[in-house]
Structure 1
Amino acid sequence: MQAIFLAIGNAAGTSGKSQAWFSQKKHERKKDELLRYLHQARHADEHGIAPIASMLPGIMTIRTPEGFPLFSIPGFLPVNLDPEFEKNSKLTVLHAPPQVALRAVENKGVRYEPPTEHLGTPLTDRSIANIAWLGLKYHGEMVIEAESMAANP
């Protein structure tokens, strides 16, 4: 994404219209939580030594018929319980698989938390895959805008 951003910035050239548009995009990247985080996480990954993501263990939770958790077992891998157990006990067994989670990153003493919103909209899916997809989508749309501007100076 950084390469796309830099290539578009270089292509903006000396045209006042394209420079103003790219300046707005740079401002947006600084202000938007998701874009800022992706930019800083790339920087931390490339120039730092701290990890930018962590592996979270899977978890098994057993809930009452009312939905209250009785107990949870972190790090527990899914197992096939006797199907009669859930049917007869009325307890619910939930398995959450292990997953990769983004970590806060630091650059020049400033801490950047994983994003909770993008372009003013709260993120309901904060998975690493969705964060990456939203970043790629934004940059893809930016390329389309730049191509349109080049075709209609």
Structure 2
Amino acid sequence: MIQIRLAINEDVPTLVAMGRQALEESRYQTFNYDDNKVRKSVEAYLADQRGKYAILVAVDNDKILGYLFAMAEAYWFCDSVVATNISWFVVPEARGSSAATKLVMGFHRWAKNRGAHEIKLIVSSAYHIDRTDKMLRRMGFTNIGGNYALNLQSNSK
């Protein structure tokens, strides 16, 4: 049975490897993946004592199936707190299971515990956008816009 828990220090190597896997199947695959930078970021999120960051993991029989890196902070224009995902990934063999939805439900609980006014899930990987949209709408989320990117390293204008 898939359970959601907060990541712990022993999860760091798995999270670094999963981060690489996430980027390799996404639109970010052309970027250099820096294992050391990711490890330091994960360790910093785990060490956060202010409650601004969290890493939730979906676990089944001690195996991590997915993660959701979360952040909660006040909007720039008011004191209302918004909880946002930094990265969200489920391994291919666990897609179609309850891992993704349980991660979102765990994120919801975490955000509520921080007094968040709303949750925003950012989907910018360009991978299975339609399936992700369908799942999030079923869970009560509303599409509020889109993500746009312009590659400044390409030769195109």
TM-score band, normalised by shorter chain: under 0.3
Q: Please give the TM-score of this superposition, normalised by the length of structure 1.
A: 0.20
**More helix by proportion, 1 or 2?**
1
Q: Which has the higher contact order (CA 8 A, sep 6+)?
A: 1
Larger-Rg structure: 1
